[in-house]
């Protein structure tokens, strides 16, 4: 497996479905319902989505990966978006590979996406460190949460 020497993720154990496509390794993305290139960032995404669905109660049918948006005429993609029952975005999740630290630059990236989406929660994760903040638009403030909320607590 391509990830044999990768540092263990700080997420519940998860065994993705892998396959070889010629010489390239792919893993199955259950949200997109297709195989995608197996990269360290993609393994973080799939492990985190698994955590949200199977350990925090997030409905799979209200989540999407690689959500396109337009910012200043440029196309961007949110790694994962959680929607409400009316298909309004509630949460943006940005992933990095485990060797990339969670920095201000990462928060700036997800904050720029939120200028378009106006969600209630922002999460960033590299599979080892995870940060979640709740937006308070009325008071122009945000609060970092101690843990990723369960779906029922949103």
Q: Which helix (H) or strand (E) holds 83?
A: strand 74-83
**Rounded Cα–Cα distance for residues 89 and 150 (Å):** 16
CB atoms within 10 A of CB 141: 10
CB atoms within 10 A of CB 70: 9
Q: Which residues pair with 78 in a beta bridge?
A: 67
pLDDT for residue 71: 80
Helix, strand, coil % over all residues of the chain, rounded to 5: 25, 35, 40
C-alpha distances in angstroms, 94 versus 20, 41, 53, 72? 26, 10, 16, 20
For the entire predicted model, the pTM comes to: 0.93
Q: Confidence class of residue 1 from pLDDT cuts 50, 70 and 90?
A: very low
Residue 42 has pLDDT above 70, yes or no: yes
Residue 4 has pLDDT above 60, yes or no: no
Mean pLDDT of the chain: 93
The tens digit of pLDDT for each residue in 121-139 reads 999 999 999 999 999 999 9
Q: Which structural domains are found in the chain, ordered by start?
A: 18-146 (3.90.1570.30)
């Amino acid at each position: 497996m391509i990830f044999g020497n990768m540092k263990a993720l700080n997420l519940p154990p998860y065994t993705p479905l892998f396959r070889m496509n010629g010489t390239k390794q792919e893993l199955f993305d259950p949200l997109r319902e297709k195989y995608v290139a197996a990269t360290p960032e993609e393994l973080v995404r799939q492990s985190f989505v698994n955590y949200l669905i199977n350990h925090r109660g997030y409905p799979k049918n209200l989540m999407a990966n690689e959500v396109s948006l337009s910012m200043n005429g440029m196309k961007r993609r949110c790694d994962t978006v959680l929607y409400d029952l009316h298909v309004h975005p509630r949460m943006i999740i940005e992933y990095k590979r485990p060797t990339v630290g969670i920095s201000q630059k990462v928060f700036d990236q997800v904050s720029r996406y939120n200028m378009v989406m106006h969600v209630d929660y922002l999460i960033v994760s590299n599979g080892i460190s995870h940060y979640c903040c709740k937006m308070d638009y009325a008071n122009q403030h945000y609060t970092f949460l101690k843990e990723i909320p369960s779906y029922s607590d949103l």
